[in-house]
């Protein structure tokens, strides 16, 4: 598979603190890459850098480069708005707007330009189906999104990203507060989503990474320790620190 992202010597500084340390990592198109590690490993920062959500913080300094489809995301002619449409993000805590389910998912489409009712309905249905939520809400799309369960809210947030027709979906520990049934539904969705999207996942635990990943990158204190297929990293890691983390000796 071709690379969707190529991260080259990326270092990220917040004030005087280095959060990511000279990271080199390739992310392939249409794969699920899990980036895992203990707290303060720089994983959320990495995800937020891939669609330049960190731009709003003036205390940030970035060195190195990130190429998407061969072009730097920091190039002067790059539209950050368009980048964020192509690279959508689902956060750890569900963030429904105080609107109906339908309007939550259609919101970005309407902000992005004029869209007819028929097209909006088609895009919303497509997004809900892809996020494995359609059967549960198809007859109540106009109820408040806040009335959904936590797991349903998180799948709705995934659907909201999908509706914008991205190329990449960043998912930051989106199952951390969910029950096992809701987690299983989201994981089932992920295996189907990679047919259409590249997925970069910060899993909420090692077991989730084992279940869903094509490839895995293990980070520790802002540095990449090792990366490879899930089978290799989980079954025969090259670095003892990876083995220690996977087996629960630290983290």
pLDDT digits (tens, 9 = 90+) for 134-151: 999 999 999 999 999 988
DSSP state of 176: T
* Burial category of 152 from C-beta neighbours within 10 Å (exposed 0-12, middle 13-18, buried 19 and up): buried
Judged against a pLDDT cut of 70, whether residue 68 lies above it is answered with yes
Alpha-carbon gap, residue 108 to 103, rounded angstroms: 9
Give the model's pLDDT for residue 251: 65
Edge-to-edge, what's the strand order for the sheet holding 168-172?
Answer: 87-90, 168-172, 198-202, 32-36, 215-220, 223-229
User: How many Cα atoms sit within 13 Å of 244 on the Cβ side?
Assistant: 10
Going along the chain from its start, the domains and CATH numbers come out as 3-246 (3.40.50.300)
Are the C-beta atoms of residues 209 and 35 closer than 8 Å to each other? no
Average pLDDT (20-48) is: 95
Predicted confidence (pLDDT) per residue in 177-229, tens digit: 777 887 888 888 888 888 899 999 999 889 889 999 999 999 999 999 999 99
Query: pTM of this prediction?
Result: 0.92
**pLDDT at residue 114, as a whole number:** 65
Tens digit of each residue's pLDDT (9 = 90 or more) over 109-168: 887 666 788 999 999 999 999 888 999 999 999 999 999 998 899 899 999 999 999 999
The pLDDT, as a whole number, for residue 8 is 98
H or E segment at 215? strand 215-220
């Amino acid at each position: 598979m071709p690379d969707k992202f190529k991260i080259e010597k990326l270092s990220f500084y917040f004030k005087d603190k280095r959060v990511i340390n000279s990271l080199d990592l390739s992310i392939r198109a249409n794969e699920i890459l899990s980036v895992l590690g203990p707290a303060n490993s720089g994983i959320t920062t990495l995800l937020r850098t891939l669609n330049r959500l960190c731009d709003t913080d003036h205390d940030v300094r970035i060195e190195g480069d990130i190429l998407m489809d061969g072009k730097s995301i920091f190039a002067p002619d790059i539209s950050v708005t368009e980048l964020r449409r192509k690279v959508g993000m689902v956060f750890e805590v569900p963030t429904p707007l105080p609107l109906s389910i339908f309007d939550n998912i259609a919101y970005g489409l309407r902000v992005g330009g004029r869209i007819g009712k028929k097209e909006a309905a088609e895009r919303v249905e497509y997004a809900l189906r892809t996020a494995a939520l359609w059967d549960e809400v198809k007859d109540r799309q106009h109820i408040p999104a806040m009335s959904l369960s936590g797991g349903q809210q998180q799948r709705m947030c995934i659907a909201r990203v999908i509706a914008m027709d991205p190329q990449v979906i960043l998912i930051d520990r989106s199952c951390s507060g969910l029950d096992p049934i809701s987690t299983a539904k989201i994981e089932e969705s992920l295996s189907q989503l990679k047919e259409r999207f590249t997925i970069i996942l910060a899993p909420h635990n090692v077991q989730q990474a084992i279940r869903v990943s094509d490839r895995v990158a293990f980070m520790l204190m802002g540095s990449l320790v090792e990366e490879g297929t899930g089978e290799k990293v989980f079954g025969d890691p090259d670095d003892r620190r990876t083995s220690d983390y996977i087996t629960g000796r630290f983290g």
